[in-house]
Amino acid sequence: MKSIPYLRLVAWGTVAIFLIIGAVVAVAFPIHASDALTFGTWSRLISEHWHFNEPQTGASAYSRPLFYALQGWMWGLIGYSDVSGRLLCGLFSLLLVGALAWAVSARPWGRVAAAVVGLLVVATPVFANQVVATLTDVFVAAFIALTGALLFRPLTRGRLQSLAVGAAATLAVLAKPSAIPALLGLGVAQLLVREPLRRRVLFRIVPLAGGVVLGFLYYIVQAAHLGIGLRSFLEAGVRGPYYSSLADQTRRYEILNAGWFGNTLRSLLMFTLLYAAVRIGGVVHRRAIVAVVPTVALLSWLLPWLANHERAFTVGAFADPSSVAAWLLTMVALAAAVVAPATAVPERAELAQFALWMVGPLVAWMTFATYDDRLLSAAWPGLFGLMALCAVPAIAALTRVRFPIVALAPVAALAVVAAENVYNIDGLQRSGWSQWRRTDAAKQFDHDTTRRIVLPSLSRALDAVRPLMGPTDRLLSPEGAFAFFFPGRVEQTFPIACDNLARVRVFVLTTDEGSKRYMEDFLHVSGEPSSWAACASPHLTQITSGSEGYAVFRVGR
């Protein structure tokens, strides 16, 4: 293995800067992701009452207990703070990067693979959106990655190692049920490890299975406690008539478009899936490169074109100049892998292990949850690891040219993509960063001010709601975010009749197209503010029009 000047410095320096900027965002901006506010209400209730089971908490929160319980206990000890919750999330983003780097490093060219996988993670828009968002997507991916790392590169041997694997698997399952398919695949992958069968079973598969079962017992007990079926409990907040309809509408586009990790990584993602498949099927490396690279060069445009119903040429690899540049550089680098040194080429068993790790959650996402890319997070560890293993031969091949520093080019390109991805941290986009930079320096870390940048409509709705709410008054709204600001006093539901509002003081109707469609298509009631303003019993006084997403009503007595 030849040394590549500055490769690890560029890679890990980029990762470090990205995560530091994420920490700055965590301090400057409040929690604002819709689901983070909805599920974070449970954390606030735990911090106030020190009760795990709260009457206002539903199955959708209970089915992802680990992070929100941990956040609640932390707030109970040190006091409620958006900053501490977001930094806690950031720690597990760091764990995800570190565990993946450790998992892929146990091989020749492992240091290069570790550097590449770190860059791949921070170059991915969906990761940037979640890095400090206090959602459970990064959290579950981190514990799945940790479990895999403990198996692919054990820190020790014997009972201590088995306990570590079992504990990590239990925590992964408690983070979110979506961890289970990934862990099952990881268990099957242990059959391919070159160890005596007895050792594989006793020290790898049994601890992993024990951890999964132990974590799953929580879901059985909690479902029984709530008096609902286990399947309904596990699917809470992810499946249902509305979400199944969304998945049906988005499935074709999301699968064919393959933009799960952004436009710039699309070609590498497609190459990884095809290369791994043909190599596992028995094709040797060089033949695989010769067959797969031209195929991916075409599919990087063709599949997104089909996903968009053949409406426009400028899609996929040709969507914009940056996509074209990324496509061209990726194809050239991957083509060079045909002359990669043998030590850099991943073995079939190695590819199969990572493929088994990711295929379960990938199929589950394709089947049930294509309406949101972040729900693919349980497949991230296996996919990112596989992408790094498949990219290393290209980098290694470039070290064979006269000036090995050329091999730094793909890494530098990934660093540029990661630098651009900073705009996606916490969903700020360029507009959010621009507004924050224009904010008075004395208020750049004031959450009331920065909340108006990231949640302008909700902030204005809160301004209208707060004067109407007395210390014991209640609010009803389909928007769960209000419960975060009035913990224990919000009913998150869609009303189906005027008399549903008699028990509350304030009603906030969400007026976005999704809410209107759900109310009209599934509840068969009007989603228009004017219809609810006509309620006579109880009488409603409309405070805001709803043109910005929220129609606020004062409920008469």
Of 414, 430, 446, the residue at which a domain comes to its end is 430
Q: Are 258 and 362 within one domain?
A: yes
Residue 2 belongs to a domain:
no
Q: Are 183 and 51 within one domain?
A: yes
Q: Are 346 and 467 within one domain?
A: no
CA distance 428 to 482: 21
CA distance 500 to 504: 9
Of 385, 415, 430, the residue at which a domain comes to its end is 430
Residue 448 belongs to a domain:
no
Residue 318 burial class via C-beta count within 10 angstroms: exposed 0-12, middle 13-18, buried 19 and up:
middle
Residue 450 belongs to a domain:
no
Residue 58 belongs to a domain:
yes
pLDDT of residue 5: 64
Q: Are 340 and 471 within one domain?
A: no
Q: Are 151 and 191 within one domain?
A: yes
Q: What is the H or E stretch that residue 483 is in?
A: helix 481-485
Q: Are 408 and 492 within one domain?
A: no
Measuring CA to CA, which residue among 153, 276, 147 is closest to residue 209?
Answer: 147
Domain housing 545:
455-555
| List of residues 6+ apart from 500 with CB closer than 8 A | 476, 493
Measuring CA to CA, which residue among 365, 179, 379, 370 is closest to residue 272?
Answer: 379
pLDDT of residue 2: 53
Q: Are 393 and 507 within one domain?
A: no
pLDDT of residue 407: 82
Q: Are 147 and 282 within one domain?
A: yes
Largest CA distance in the chain: 83
pLDDT of residue 3: 56
pLDDT of residue 240: 74
256: tokens are 């064919």
Residue 355 belongs to a domain:
yes
| Beta carbons of 554 and 540 less than 8 angstroms apart | yes
Residue 441 belongs to a domain:
no
Cα separations in angstroms, 467 against 159, 163, 510, 554: 59, 53, 19, 10
Q: Are 412 and 495 within one domain?
A: no
Residue 446 belongs to a domain:
no
CA distance 468 to 556: 11
Q: Are 420 and 460 within one domain?
A: no
Q: Are 483 and 415 within one domain?
A: no
DSSP classification of residue 372: -
- pTM surpassing 0.85? yes
Measuring CA to CA, which residue among 530, 531, 528, 533 is closest to residue 554?
Answer: 533
Residue 158 belongs to a domain:
yes
One digit per residue, the tens of pLDDT, for the chain of length 557 reads: 555 668 889 999 999 999 999 999 999 999 999 899 989 999 999 999 888 888 778 888 899 999 999 999 999 999 999 999 999 999 999 999 999 999 999 888 999 999 999 999 999 999 999 999 999 999 999 999 999 999 998 876 778 889 999 999 999 999 999 999 999 999 999 999 988 888 889 889 999 999 999 999 999 999 999 999 998 888 877 777 778 888 899 999 999 999 999 999 999 999 999 999 999 999 999 999 999 999 999 999 999 999 998 888 889 899 889 899 999 999 999 999 999 999 999 999 999 999 999 999 999 999 999 999 999 999 999 999 999 999 999 999 998 877 767 888 899 999 999 999 999 999 999 999 999 999 999 999 999 999 999 999 999 999 999 999 999 999 999 998 999 999 989 998 999 999 999 999 999 999 999 899 999 988 999 999 999 999 989 999 999 999 999 999 999 86
Number of compact structural domains in the chain:
2
Q: Are 383 and 478 within one domain?
A: no
